[in-house]
Structure 1
């Protein structure tokens, strides 16, 4: 069996939403990501309010992401052994079931253990979710399917992240923890409707090494975008520290335009261009956005802030296109499970590394240089984003 380049597949008429299994996947993913989003900022806040300090708060997030990446690395073997449905259900249980234990956690040690377990679940559901796009839909719908999946997981984050801290402060932490448990566990119901089809066994010769050779170009482009995304969501409130409203607007814009960019890229690539053609366009948009933000961050005038916010939106749209295109290109070169693992690791590890790396650069040089360097990195990766025809890779 072999994988094929999806960029050569003709578009398929109709909507992915007509597929009942895919619709069930979207509903389940929305519930699991809503549960995840409610605890992202609230768990560190809970740790601090219990007197464990900022270091323990940061460690809770770090442990969560570390176990997420470890679980993602194990996913190709797990889905071949147990299939996507069973693995996704296990992920929902790991993600949701430990959350109520946070209510009775009085020290940082149990919080770290709970975060580790929940991170495993998040690793399972992220890989299964994006891989199932390719497992449930025909090739000519993958762009639109990826765009719709981006909305299903992105809108809960857009709503849940800001709402969670407000609910915790006004209704109590216990309410957030219980909601963060209930929503992923409820997602088991639509997950149970998925077909019990095992993961396809196609993969390039050479196993993981062969897969890495097949996808390193779109992987690097995806990584560059996620490095910048991690830096932006971490530091935008500080870049616009003189106006909290502008900082909040910038955060909202980068998330919203990334959602819209991913969705529109899926529609356009399926119906007009074919997979991979928008990867260069998306990368150029991120480069222009980061360069403009670097210029805007150097000033304190209203014009400088307006330039910065506008360029944040441009970056977000470009990164959304990159997310969609990189995933669909990877689907055409390796198995769905390996493509999903590679994409998710680039996204999750890139965000963490971007926040740390840009923080280190900012401490020495400031925000304009840091964002300028991210723009330069994008320019250097333009050859990797250029569309290429690949022969099918045989197992």
Structure 2
């Protein structure tokens, strides 16, 4: 794994930034009629050919849009556009679904006057339903692409399903004395689980970097960000994170030998972590973001395993929802994680409230702990006291509303 070699203070958040902050990108969103009233079709366009990298769901049932996107990227590792729809996943739709994804790519390419293989396709929504291609065709034809804040908002809105808020971010840093930016937009609320879940993440950057090195960096960063979130333990069919890098910033080509390679990796990590946490926080029916920090593991991988096990535990999630400081549920999750554990050396804290020290209960104020668990963000700290491995994971609480939302997802 590439190690970040820089102080994170070099990475600056751009408060009003978006996927359009990096130079040379445009986007837009439109209501094509796939949903009743909400925007449901969007596109991101690079004004010049961009290097690209993507990671995909590990589901055996990869949806047709992912197949088409992989074919596009394999052609020459260059993209100019990403076209995305919500409402229909175009998954488990056989040959017709594949042809519809190809048609969607063709329509977007014709709209922008670019080669078909320079277009990526993404879809999200209900599995097993066929695309309404007449609406897709009309929507692409009516799509207005631009560089305004409204254009960014239209795209960010068009990709949402059960999400309650838009997910976006933007960070910048100085590389070779030049400002390089990464902007991001994502969707995801339910069917979220590590190893890529029902989420779409799109990142734009004006950094000058080849697809080869961008792919390596994205895979490493994904393992410690997007793959470390969980909402409900289910993995979907359409999930993808895709990055386009068009080099418009004008920095020297980035690779692991570049003296400021670590700055770029940190920039990508901060952007990915921001989107990942926003997805976890907006879990279906969620009221709280849960952040788990694990230290003292035998390795970073084992630390991440423990963190994911805690974040994915329904018992931990319901305890957080009910503001019940039942640390026994955390112990239960740690014990079944499969990581190396010494049952006599584990520490557990909720925020600054220590509950377990060297696997021995510590007296704490229940009212204080309950008050802490009422916060919008709950931090769980675990120290295994075995090694130097550290890792993080993010999840959300499990509420009554999760059942209500998913019991009527198609209606």
Q: Which has the higher strand share?
A: 2
Task: Say yes or no: TM over 0.5.
Answer: no
Q: How high is the TM-score relative to the length of structure 2?
A: 0.30
Q: Which has the higher helix share?
A: 1
Bigger relative contact order, structure 1 or 2 (CA pairs below 8 A, ≥6 apart): 1
Question: Which has the higher Rg, Structure 1 or Structure 2?
Answer: 2
